[in-house]
């Protein structure tokens, strides 16, 4: 149960017969996505440090884990993400300006500035609104899977949580429901070793996260989360199983949170530097780069092009997003219900009247987490 499935070894070579043999263009695309995801994260953190956005959360070190997983889906399949899978946005082609507008919470944000940064929602790519309470998406995915099954369509649902998320109520109910109803769901636990300052050993006494699947009667597979091909292969099998009607799978991707929990956290206070350094050597992007090198798909020029194009796209998007307008005060009252209630109308009027007189607005401090 605790064996770890790996395809690309340290030298970038693949084990015999394990390589999924993706076409060269696809391999290069995956590499580009990983690099761009990391660049986007770097920019997000920089903007936060400069005080231009309020909060940021990076997925650094986990690019293979979540991009590899989502790559196993068809575009028509749905995602119920947690907050650490930004690579999926680029994989599914969300306009960067939209993504970055979400950080600013301006009028280009599809969530209308109602959520903290990185809590995306993109209906056009079947990417369901992220919520901060840990784990709640797991039951949603189970329910959506049940619904698809009732309707007889062949959509597959992929949902993510962290190692910490396995302790949540919804992990228990979500996996139990999915298994009992054989819902077409793939549960991806990105085990990055930490839940803010709580290490895995204080989170659970289970041998692994994958073994938890047994409690629900579904297969649980443990895969090297820094090996994008291994993650892809395992998830592809799980997605195929789900689509065939064979029910859910739990995939544990073993990876590492290279950054602090978020822009508000300082991991140095509770984490051993040696552990970090050890994982730095296992960087998923470097590993995949070696693999591509072996396949003669990577060279310095390609690298430069990937990085430069990524930076340029991001910079352009930041400029456009930052130039956008703030949301009107009245928008606060929309979308509570489909229609405004009489009470909300009155409250909106009251606020507009006060604003007309000027000077309304409380002072706000900083986010600690």
Ligand X SMILES: Cc1ncc(C[n+]2csc(CCOP(=O)(O)OP(=O)(O)O)c2C)c(N)n1
Query: Two tokens at 303?
Result: 């690298």
Query: In what helix (H) or strand (E) does residue 187 lie, and over which residues does it extend?
Result: strand 185-191
Residue 224's nearest CA partner among 256, 180, 271, 184 is: 256
Contact region with ligand X (CB under 6 A), list: 126-134, 143-151, 340-348, 349-357: 126-134
Report d(CA 290, CA 259) in Å as an integer: 23
The catalytic residue among 38, 66, 140, 257 is: 257
What is the per-residue binding string for other proteins in 254-293, x denoting contact by CB under 8 A?
----------xx---xx-----------------------
163 counts as binding Mg ion under rule CB under 5 A = yes
Is-catalytic flag, 257? yes
Is-catalytic flag, 261? yes
CB of 71 to Mg ion, least distance (A): 21
Query: In what helix (H) or strand (E) does residue 220 lie, and over which residues does it extend?
Result: strand 220-224
What is the per-residue binding string for Mg ion in 175-194, x denoting contact by CB under 5 A?
-----------------x--
Among residues 121 and 347, whose Cβ is nearest to ligand X? Answer: 121
Residue 192's nearest CA partner among 317, 299, 57 is: 57
Report d(CA 218, CA 207) in Å as an integer: 16
Among residues 313 and 347, whose Cβ is nearest to other proteins? Answer: 347
Segment 275 to 334, residues that bind ligand X, using CB under 6 A: none
Segment 144 to 203, residues that bind ligand X, using CB under 6 A: 161-165, 192, 194-196
Binding-site partner at residue 84 among other proteins, ligand X, Mg ion, none, CB < 5 to 8 Å by type: ligand X
Q: Which of 53, 67, 134, 221 binds ligand X (CB under 6 A)?
A: 134
Using CB under 6 A as the binding criterion, the count of chain residues that bind ligand X stands at: 15
361 counts as binding other proteins under rule CB under 8 A = yes
CB atoms within 10 A of CB 336: 10
Segment 83 to 122, residues that bind ligand X, using CB under 6 A: 84
Residue 86's nearest CA partner among 50, 134, 45 is: 45
Using CB under 8 A as the binding criterion, the count of chain residues that bind other proteins stands at: 78
160 counts as binding other proteins under rule CB under 8 A = no
The catalytic residue among 270, 276, 294, 324 is: 270
Sign of the dihedral through C-alpha 206, 212, 216, 218? negative
CB of 70 to other proteins, least distance (A): 23
In Å, what is the CA distance from 109 to each residue of 39, 46, 95, 116, 330?
20, 20, 11, 11, 16
Helix-helix angle 228-244:284-294, to 10 degrees: 90
Interacting residues of 267 by C-beta distance below 8 A, sequence separation 6+: 194, 197, 257, 259, 260, 261, 276
CB of 167 to ligand X, least distance (A): 8
What is the per-residue binding string for other proteins in 87-126, x denoting contact by CB under 8 A?
------------------xx------xxxx--x-------
Residue 69's nearest CA partner among 274, 197, 227 is: 227
**Phi and psi angles of residue 264, each rounded to the nearest 5 degrees, phi first:** -95, -5
Report d(CA 321, CA 225) in Å as an integer: 32
Q: Which of 29, 92, 172, 243 binds other proteins (CB under 8 A)?
A: 172
216 counts as binding other proteins under rule CB under 8 A = yes
Residues binding ligand X (CB under 6 A):
84, 132-134, 161-165, 192, 194-196, 257, 261
Residues binding Mg ion (CB under 5 A):
162-163, 192, 195
Q: Catalytic residue positions?
A: 257, 261, 270
């Amino acid at each position: 149960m605790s064996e770890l499935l790996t395809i690309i070894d340290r030298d970038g070579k693949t084990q015999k017969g394990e390589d999924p043999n993706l076409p060269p263009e696809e391999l290069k695309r995956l590499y580009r996505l990983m690099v761009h995801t990391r660049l986007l994260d770097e920019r997000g953190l920089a903007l936060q440090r400069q005080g231009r956005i309020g909060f940021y959360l990076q997925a650094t070190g986990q690019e293979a884990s979540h991009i590899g997983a989502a790559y196993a889906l068809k575009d028509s399949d749905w995602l119920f993400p947690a907050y650490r899978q930004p690579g999926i946005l680029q994989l599914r082609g969300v306009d960067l300006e939209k993504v970055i507008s979400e950080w600013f919470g301006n009028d280009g944000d599809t969530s209308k500035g109602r959520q903290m940064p990185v809590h995306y929602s993109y209906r056009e790519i079947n990417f369901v609104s992220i919520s901060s309470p840990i784990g709640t998406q797991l039951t949603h995915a189970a329910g959506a899977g049940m619904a698809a099954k009732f309707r007889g369509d062949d959509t597959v649902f992929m949902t993510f949580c962290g190692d910490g998320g396995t302790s949540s109520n919804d992990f228990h109910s979500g996996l139990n429901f999915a298994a009992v109803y054989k819902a077409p769901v793939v549960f991806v636990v990105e085990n990055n070793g930490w839940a803010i300052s709580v290490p895995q050993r204080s989170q659970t006494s289970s041998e692994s996260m994958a073994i938890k699947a047994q409690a629900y009667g579904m297969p649980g597979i443990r895969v090297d989360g820094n090996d994008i091909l291994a993650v892809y292969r395992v998830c592809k099998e799980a997605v195929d199983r789900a689509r065939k009607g064979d029910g859910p799978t739990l995939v544990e991707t073993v990876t590492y949170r290279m950054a602090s929990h978020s822009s508000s956290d300082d991991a140095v206070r509770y984490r051993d530097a040696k552990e970090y350094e050890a994982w730095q050597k296992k960087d998923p992007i470097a590993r995949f780069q070696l693999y591509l090198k072996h396949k003669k798909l990577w060279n310095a020029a390609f690298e430069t092009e990937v990085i430069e194009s990524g930076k340029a796209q991001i910079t352009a998007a930041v400029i456009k997003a930052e130039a956008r307008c703030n949301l009107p005060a009245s928008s606060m009252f929309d979308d509570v219900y489909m229609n405004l209630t009489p009470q909300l109308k009155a409250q909106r009027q009251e606020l507009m009247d006060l604003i007309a007189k000027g000077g309304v607005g409380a002072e706000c401090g900083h986010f600690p987490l």
